[in-house]
Structure 1
Amino acid sequence: MTGAVLTISSKNYSSWSLRGWLLCKLAGLEVDEQVVSFDDPENRAELLLLSPSVLVPRLTHEDASVWDTLAIAEYLNDCYPDAGMYPEDRIARAHCRSISGEIHSGFHHLRSALPMNLRAQHDRFHIFTGARPDIERIETIWAECLERYGGPYLFGARPTVADAMFAPVTRRFLSYAVEMKPSTAAYCATIDDWAPMREWVDAARAEAEEMEELDIEF
């Protein structure tokens, strides 16, 4: 046991669990994973309602219990200030926090139209019209960051909290064959090739299928 435990739900379906896990990787914190049951009501809420305001993921570390992905990010940054989770520059750091907060609290049409499913791979997929503004806004965020900070990650040569927060979106774009600008496709490829992301996706694909297709209309 490492003394740090990250409570997560399905690796295949849970975008919030992925974010929490990637944040721990960014901090360099090794965690023991505690997977909640598919029958757990909070797990169902997290998967079916696509809500960030439940207690999964939850990090238990040195007598602290921290839930909500942004709270986990700030806690880990406090504990490991030399890990480089945020950009060093004050203005860039504020920018990173702003777009991380935006993906945390918004883009509800995108979440419902393109639900997280790492096993899914569509050659073509009809995207609900209401999700188009969300996709356009995300592409704008990424393009601005990549141009301003030089890539390949959103804030330069190293991944930050923002990349952990947007990582599930890249998988949605790839899984549902979203038509993308070249800069968007390049960023999705960068995240797809990020070692922690590959590790999570491989584990998700090997995960036992313990639940039927999510019983909700997206």
Structure 2
Amino acid sequence: MYTLYIGNKNYSSWSLRPWILMRELGIPFNEILIPFNEPGFPAFSSISPTAKVPCLHDGSERVWESLAICEYLAERHEGVWPKDAKARAWARSAASEMHAGFGNLRNVCSMSVGLRVELHKVTPELQKDVDRIGALWSEGLQRFGGPFLAGPTFTAVDAFFAPVAFRFQTYGLPLPKPAADYVKRVLELKGMKEWYAAGLAEKWRDLPHEAETPTFGKITADLRK
């Protein structure tokens, strides 16, 4: 059975991608969570050649980087990418865009599922990322008929944008209706609810993550236990 190593569910957007994909597709795996900067846990370097999470272990094989993990799974399981060739090409393009882009959204709106934050300001650069995501999601939903980005089923492209759904919930950024409805739909998924509940229950607080958020906005609620 696969073993997926992940970081804190409150913060680790990269870990969420393969985790939610495997959960929603029913791919069995063992989960091992290693919190950031916590004594008494294995070092990330002991489980991943990049000393980062996520990392998938399949026997002696180690697969790192969320996009590589999804492609590794796609070679072994149906449903990771859409069956339709045009939808599959679009989904891979959109997932790659998320993997490599949207730097302003990542930097200003870091993932912290338990917080609600009112940004001090929305810069033009951040708004450009938000507008692009809204347009991209609306395009996929319209072109392939929904309810997911590339058609009727949850695939890797939805997994890649799942952390963004948490970000929009945390920071309250407005989206056009099709995209806003998609955020609600994703947050209602069984796996997303499970991840969210676990994130709220985590006792660990990583100081670098905690210190970053107040520089960009006012914390209006902390729902973590």
Normalising by structure 2, we get a TM-score of 0.84
In structure 2, what is the equivalent of residue 68 of structure 1?
Answer: 65
- Of the candidates 34, 37, 40, which is equivalent to residue 39 of structure 1? 37
Identity of aligned residues (%): 36
* More strand by percentage: 2
Displacement of 1:37: 3.8
Q: How many residues align?
A: 204
Whole-angstrom CA distance in 1 between matches of 2:37 and 2:141: 41
SS of 2:5's equivalent in the other structure is strand
Unaligned runs of 5+ in 1: 44-52
Structure 2 stretches lacking a partner, 5+ long:
45-49, 217-225
Select 2:75's aligned residue among 38, 55, 78: 78
Amino acid at match of 2:59: E
Residue-by-residue CA offset, 1:45-78 (whole Å, 9 max, x unaligned): xxxxxxxx76310010133210101100011111
**Structure 2 equivalent of residue 21 of structure 1:** 19
Tell me the equivalent position of 2:144. Answer: 149
Amino acid at match of 1:197: M
Q: Structure 2: how far apart are the matches of 1:86 and 1:181?
A: 26
> Contact between 2:6 and 2:32, CA under 8 Å: does it hold in 1?
yes
1:6 and 2:4 aligned: yes
Q: Which runs of 4+ in 1 moved over 3 A?
A: 40-43, 215-218
TM-score normalised by the chain length of structure 1: 0.86
**How much is the aligned-residue C-alpha RMSD, in angstroms?**
2.0
Deviation at 1:158, TM superposition (A): 1.0
Q: Higher relative contact order by CA 8 Å / sep ≥ 6: 1 or 2?
A: 2
- Which of 174, 177, 183 is matched with 1:179 structurally? 174
In the TM superposition, residue 210 of structure 1 has moved relative to its aligned partner by 3.2
CA contact (8 A) 1:27 1:76 kept: no
Equivalent position SS for 2:31: strand
